[in-house]
Amino acid sequence: MSVIVKICGLREAEHVDAAVEAGAGLTGFVFFEPSPRNISIAEAAALTARLPAGVRKVALSVDAGDDFLSAIIDGAGVDTLQLHGAETLERVRHVREKFGLPVIKALPVSTVDDVEAAQPYEAYADMLLFDAKPPKDATRPGGNAESFDWTLLQQAGFRVPWLLAGGLTPENVAEAVRISGAPMVDVSSGVEDAPGRKNTRKIRDFIAAAHSG
């Protein structure tokens, strides 16, 4: 079965279209002001309207409150929530129950202990996303072009679907999938020319490389 690809941090119609045409299964839109990929609800709505049925529309937020999540859900045309902050088990459960949408919980990884600490989230999240722990001086929890030891996930045996993220590029994604066994991959900075500036060719190359495995 082919690896499913999520292109995150989309901000322009050209790149949304390229992701769909190349076969992305998920698209991501960032609602977090410190990120160079931050987008307004109205801008996101214009982009999600372009997406065909079957392509998941993911809203990434970081420790967002209920009011902000409500506004995103009501106005941005998304169908999935990605919680990319320090959300607790109880917070993930609350969000999932209150809003009734599938939830992806992003979790930072640098050691085997981090992988083990992720296991309780299986009971509350529909999907897990494993990203590299951000540098100490980072202003955002993801999209930092940092990777981690992919072998940590080889024997994870998670019961819910999961995505591998962190430092993936068109050049290394096939190897990352082979080593980690990831059923899904997520990329943002790895298909950019500069932070927040996607490259159409890199999007296509990344998806083709991920599917080649």
> Annotated catalytic residue: which of 8, 66, 149, 193?
8
Query: For residues 167 and 96, what is the distance between their CA atoms, to the nearest angstrom?
Result: 28
Packing angle between helix 13-22 and helix 41-48, nearest 10 degrees? 40
Closest CA relative to residue 37, chosen from 136, 132, 144, 109 = 144
Pairing of strands 26-30, 56-61: parallel
Query: For residues 148 and 108, what is the distance between their CA atoms, to the nearest angstrom?
Result: 9
> Annotated catalytic residue: which of 131, 137, 149, 193?
131
Query: Left if phi > 0, otherwise alpha if psi is -120 to 50, otherwise beta: which for 190?
Result: alpha
User: Is 131 known to be catalytic?
Assistant: yes
Please, which residues have CB within 8 angstroms of residue 144's CB and are 6 or more apart in sequence? Answer: 132, 134, 135, 138, 166, 189
Query: For residues 108 and 89, what is the distance between their CA atoms, to the nearest angstrom?
Result: 15
User: Is 8 known to be catalytic?
Assistant: yes
Let me know: does 52 contact 20? Beta carbons within 8 Å: yes
Q: Active-site residue numbers? A: 8, 131
